[in-house]
Structure 1
């Protein structure tokens, strides 16, 4: 029998090419031909080629040389990796024993050679079933007599839905990514632009926060100043706050403030709206989605200690322990602990961070159970970097030194705890039921948002005010579903039915009772700010409940060379809110929306090139209309953001490209005036349109040289604004050109030494809808090195890096209307890791 791959949870069948990870480049249409036209064009142009190629390819699979990189591991996992990298189907005659392990293979081989090496000394052989699949069976003759053929896998194996996709050549990104309810999908099978950054690049770049990882992505920019107490982002020109980042595909479970990187195995970035796949996010992000995959115990024991230094005087320690237990290694335990304290790159600012996480998993015969738990506290003392407003002055002046501490004396204390349990059970050979439940809490006290001033003149004089705040969030989330695979004639189906819910309770103190008087300072020569009195009691201010029902089907045609994904999610949004001072209820919101997805992948010339297109929507909660409008008491329906996209992915073996062309339209609330009526109405008639072109690259140019990054062109326009006053203007916080390109070079004459460098460019951008306030373009250079060796028989890695090598001072982006963020100061990082 055949085992379903990708989303099927209890089997490892890899339909032909279904889990291969490749990316590509191709020709883009002219701007007037937007991606919505691509579906018909792709079908008309390539269906004849598909039919011809399906016949011609059968004879070539046996001898085709291709790159393989499969570590020694349990044989079931190795065969899954083989199907991904070969594009063939594997069928197993019987059940694979859990203790069977594969040999490691790395290099260019034919499918026969690679499979023979994997099965060496296993007592198993194989033979071709047809031109695209192979049968694996027990041997009654010596292994040298093996005959090789096409591949597919069958029998009772561990879940492939959550099976971690293997790394791509170079180890910086993965071959696949989680697409929400669709589960882990190979890049070449995904009708979207996705990138999954690995734990290896997190370690090699010494990324201590999520922002450090996303410095590699040309479509991601930042909406908070470096050195602040939290991180917010933009993807494809739209905001994504840190609380909209998901953990294992579920919202509301990650720590507040900065997300610790020590427990992260993958950072997965999905470009574009994602409401159908992930559900509505707590704060309505529509430009993309970021998902965190936590670490699990590997097949080999791990014990690693890392010591670190960060300028100006911050020291840290991190411990990473992983081991599997039991005769069959069914129970896995992964522990991560970290501590860091000292002065940061912002002058005299200090940060203390403590973190602990536990990840456990148990692999039963036809079931699997996982648990993740964490606790962290992050404390910032004696200052912060700035957000600077220019609306009063009416123009932007030069940035101050990047290490300027304009708010000496302020602090913020933040702590978070969370736990998530996930289980799945195989219902026969093709179906799996799954369920997950999580709970998290985040508390803060201090000067979380009072970190901005408003500039008054060209000399940098500014008016400031500080806010002593306190609050907490309690979040509970759950998901359950059924997923499986079947066929109707020659058409394959991979279906998933899911029910999910998120409950989010917010408590805030009344900030009006803890706000300082305004004071005059200077952004170039700041003074100590004024401070208010103690914060008051934290009261409940909001209850949000998101529930949804979703159904999706990925249909496969012509030997999986055409994949069509159809799906829809019914999303309900309920919100109640209360005034933090009077405790009077201010809103009662209850609305629902149906959001669809349509995705297409076509492989007309074999598995190394994928043409893709999609239509997908994003959802943001509408608004309760307040007393200052003529339609007071109404509730606006959820805003539906719409994306059409088309692209090409090309995998050249060890180097991959993705070229994407897209359009996103996002509605918003605007005031609409009617003649003879005193008050305006609030309506969801506003619109912003972002059109973009992206080129992403990753992988190995040579065995010693790796590239990662890309370039993006983005045109953001305000299509409909209040009174038409800003119609046609450029959208704020949308630079036309952005680029990130990083390179690594293994020095050939000194084994173990690697040099790396990265350049980042961001074009000019506006801070306001009227386009009166423009930030200049900026570029930044980063560099680093690492040396891998052995000392006293132990593996040791020394790493060093410099962020902002030239110590440039620049405005990095936009926090809010008229408010600019500051770039990172020059920051030196050093670390040493030892396996013991």
Structure 2
């Protein structure tokens, strides 16, 4: 995965990539000007060390004779030098200033760096000299202070940032990748303060969040798939696999957006590290590091943000600091605190949803009570540059969240949670002067631990109906991965150059889950095994390897083929029980032991192709297969529903892994100077279709023993719940589009997501290897004869559908030399018609369409102080978050003011 898009042009810097296809370091630099300063720039800084190095080496240093493929058009010298450095990986140092208006000569074809520089500068009046094998200086003889060759003016180092256009500063790499990727930039996250992390995903095509504003955890849905590892959501590469069974979503990831530098969403390429056990995508949340806090040339400094707003947005604040201790070491730290209270829902359009059994809910009868969040988060990073071609990155990210939320559709009963997260990462990169080696390796450990207190449930008469629970849920995940990239360039073929690159690696991770529960002793129903079985303990190992080969010719087309091998092993002790007294296998007596031991493996191919018939247009097509390993939660589910509900949970000892295939076609557009000089238009459009075999979800199943009301005449099936594999494939297809136009003083962008989901399907309801009563799957009827109850789509539970249509728009202006920015965002959501959830379900069966408008603004008082003001949900719309599965409406109109400073 990439480590961010800001690149110092240095051959020893790992350039990363988006995954499926090799990318060069993207970025273009021009001399700063008010018309386009928001999108591209050259940063210069004095460098005494560089002067000394130049004086020592100028007379003897030479560049290597490595051949590079250059494709540099005639353009201003500044941008041409950045393109040269981007291709060759050679640092460029400027001796003095570039002459205004200096132009380069076009450089095309395969040649050495020396030959390319000679041609590029041949009509500019500039000279160049090597000051090392990976650094050159460019000199303007006319502006030199003296003619003495031993005297140099203080040079400046040219660095570049990716050209990042549009409302959210999306980097050009998104529109140069032949596959579906998206990036949430820090600019996008900062311009409108959010109550919860879920809100930063609101404007990403093909992505939705399923949980509501009362829970700080994230459940990320990518292209209709979510939870149970279908989407690998990770923090700095460390997987966050936590699951906890509740009404609603099960998988959640805890992160404070104040600590984030960038979020990258990979939807096409899973033939890379991070793809093991996943089927829909990889969401990498990269947290702040030194380069995100300090500007180029700064040895130390920091940033601070303080926010306060209406609607119980009481306080949000964060401080980050970085220090470049020496050329060999830099460190960074950040801390964040958030305090929000019991918000008010929107008053306009109060209708929210209907439950699976058809009951209507609005902001009046589904009101979020006792909702608050006290969250403290922090991180610590250290980057050690071992030598010129090796670096070590160490990091810690942690959080403590104290919050309350209800678990029932009427929002009556409140659970109180204290959730801690800890993530440790260690990464090493070795990138020597070789096209065959760019080796990355990493180790990580992450823990999510939730201490939950469930107060006793009291009846109207004051009696205790359900005892209180004091629960501890813990999941530890440890993992490691290693990968390498090798590039091989060929001689000229026809009228173009070609090369082949190999990406290959291996990864593994181990999950260890443990759940304990203690009862309060107030009386009523309830037992520890109910909690310990519904979020079970157990262990899982997932591992795999991959190899990708990409052939490219003349930057016009590329072909990719890949294979990945995946395997999982999962084991633990479960049990099954019944509520029928005659069974002799009651849950309260401990049930019957059940050993779970699952393992599978699969080889999955992937293919891809792209072609660029004209400059600025790239067509692509991709195909991949994947195996999604079941989680501990899915395989080990057991026990009994909390309270006197009478629904046992059954482990499925024959549960299979999901197998999916995804096809997509798409096109990228990238044009500059469209309507006026310096503007830019960017767009990505893709259509996909996914087919998922053995889709796993929870469904109602029969207990083996029936109840007999009148012996021989009247029997009744008893209900349980279990994870099942659907016997019919699940299909998800959709169209995604992201586009933007940026003219500097004004901009406009948006996304479109169209989705069609077939979530119907039958399943085998007999999940236990036990003897079933002959009437176990029949209805209540004379003589015990009736139609099957279980095994059809009307008994599926826990399937959530992404919106059928979702549109977002974002536009604004930049005034007063772009110091003042003001804009608006709009979101329109239309739900699916076929949720496929059980007709017995009390959770969301159908939510209603909604539209949201947000206003945001910022004013840069000076280079160190900025004030931001935003109004979220301006028109106070009442709605539940798209994808369903939530009980509570989202917050109503909320105004937030933020003061940001640099030091």
**Fold match (TM-score > 0.5):** yes
C-alpha contact 1:308 1:317 (8 A) present in aligned 2? yes
1:503-542 counterparts in 2 under 5 A?
503-510=510-517, 541-542=537-538
Is 1:292 equivalent to 2:298 in the alignment? no
Partner Cα separation in structure 1 for residue 723 and residue 447 of structure 2:
38
Q: 1:313 to 1:690 in 2, by over 3 A?
A: closer
Which residue of the partner structure matches residue 359 of structure 2? Answer: none
Gaps of 5+ in 1: 23-65, 77-91, 97-107, 158-162, 177-185, 389-399, 453-462, 519-529
Equivalent residues of 1:570, 1:593 under 8 A apart: yes
1:715 aligns with 2:756: yes
| Structure-1 separation of matches of 2:637 and 2:830 | 38
Within the candidate set 198, 208, 218, 1:221 is matched to: 208
Indicate conservation of the 8 Å contact 2:821/2:858, yes or no: yes
Deviations 1:76-122 (A, max 9, x none): 9xxxxxxxxxxxxxxx96279xxxxxxxxxxx982546336976427
SS of the residue corresponding to residue 262 of structure 1 reads helix
Q: Work out which of the residue numbers 672, 683, 695 in structure 2 matches 1:657.
A: 683
Q: Does 1:742 align with 2:778?
A: no
Cα distance, 1:407 vs. partner? 4.2
Deviations 1:765-796 (A, max 9, x none): 35741697432211111112211112xxx611
Cα displacement (A) at 1:340: 2.2
Indicate conservation of the 8 Å contact 1:223/1:234, yes or no.
Answer: yes
Identify if the C-alpha distance between structure 1 residues 638 and 451 changes in structure 2 by more than 3 Å, giving closer, same or farther: farther
The answer to whether structure 1 residue 613 and structure 2 residue 621 are counterparts is: yes
Cα displacement (A) at 1:169: 2.1
Determine the C-alpha separation between the residues in 2 that align with 1:340 and 1:693. 37
Contact 2:271 2:547 in 1 (8 A): no
Judging changes above 3 Å, is the alpha-carbon distance between structure 1 residues 313 and 499 closer, same or farther for their aligned structure 2 residues?
A: closer
Structure 2 residue 561 is matched with structure 1 residue 566 = yes
Question: What SS is found at the alignment partner of 1:610?
Answer: strand
Please point out which of 230, 236, 257 is paired with 1:261. Answer: 257
Find the counterpart in structure 1 of residue 308 from structure 2: 309
**Distance between the aligned counterparts of 2:76 and 2:892, measured in 1?**
50
2:449 aligned counterpart, secondary structure: strand
When residues 706 and 591 of structure 1 are mapped into structure 2, their CA distance, relative to the original with a 3 A threshold, is: same
Give runs of aligned pairs for residues 399-438 of structure 1, distance below 5 A: 406-407=412-413, 410-430=415-435, 431-438=437-444
Query: Which residue pairs with 1:445 in the alignment?
Result: 451
- Deviation per CA, 1:38-66: give whole Å up to 9, x if none: xxxxxxxxxxxxxxxxxxxxxxxxxxxx9
Shift of residue 732, structure 1, vs aligned partner: 4.9
Cα displacement (A) at 1:613: 0.6
How far does residue 722 in structure 1 lie from its aligned partner after superposition? 3.6
* CA deviation after TM superposition for structure 1 residue 348, in Å: 5.3
Residue in 1 aligned with 2:405?
384
Which residue is equivalent to 1:270?
266
- Whether the 8 Å contact between 2:691 and 2:731 is mirrored in structure 1 is yes
Q: Residues 13 and 551 (structure 1 numbering): CA distance in 2 closer, same or farther, change over 3 Å?
A: closer
Change (3 A) 1:74 1:482: farther
Paired position in structure 1 for 2:661: 642
Q: Deviations over 1:670-709 (max 9, x none)?
A: 9999xxxx99996552321112111111351x21223343
Contact 2:167–2:747 under 8 Å retained in 1 = no
Asked whether the equivalents of residues 172 and 699 of structure 1 are also in contact (C-alpha less than 8 Å), the reply is no
Q: Please show how residues 520-599 of structure 1 align to structure 2 within 5 Å.
A: 541-557=537-553, 559-579=554-574, 586-599=595-608
Contact 2:273/2:505, CA 8 A, preserved across alignment = no
CA distance in 2, matches of 1:148, 1:240: 58
Distance 2:413 2:337 in 1: 25
Task: Report the Cα offset of residue 426 of structure 1.
Answer: 3.0
Q: Which of these residues, 180, 183, 200, is aligned with residue 196 of structure 1?
A: 183
Aligned to 1:526: none
Question: Using the alignment, how far apart are the partners of 2:23 and 2:751 within structure 1?
Answer: 25
Deviation, structure 1 residue 276: 5.0
Deviation string 1:571-627 (CA, Å, 9 cap, x unpaired) is 111112334996966411111111222121211112x11101100233322575999
Q: Secondary structure at the match of 2:405?
A: coil
CA distance in 2, matches of 1:739, 1:318: 32
Question: Which runs of 5 or more residues in structure 2 are unaligned?
Answer: 1-6, 28-35, 48-60, 66-72, 83-91, 136-158, 243-250, 344-367, 458-464, 576-586, 640-647, 673-679, 707-716, 765-790, 840-844
2:189 maps to 1:166: no
Assess if the C-alpha contact under 8 Å between 2:749 and 2:810 holds in 1.
yes
Residues 804-830 of structure 1: CA deviation (Å, up to 9, x unaligned): 2222222334555xx655333333322
State the distance in 2 between where 1:359 and 1:611 align.
40
Indicate how the Cα distance of structure 1 residues 407 and 693 shifts in structure 2: closer, same or farther if over 3 A, else same: same
Quick one: structure 1 residues 484 and 746, their matched pair in 2 at CA, closer, same or farther if it must change by over 3 Å? same
2-structure distance, mates of 1:229, 1:422: 28
Q: 2:333 maps to what in 1?
A: 335
* Partners of 1:762 and 1:779 within 8 A in 2: yes
When the two structures are aligned, how many residues end up with a matched partner? 691
Change (3 A) 1:483 1:350: same
Distance in 1 of aligned mates of 2:882 and 2:119: 67
Distance 1:441 1:634, change over 3 A: closer
Matched residues in 2 for 1:95 and 1:292: separation? 38
2:147 is matched with: none
1:418-437 deviation digits (Å, cap 9, x = unpaired): 21111122354211222111
Counterpart secondary structure, 1:115: helix
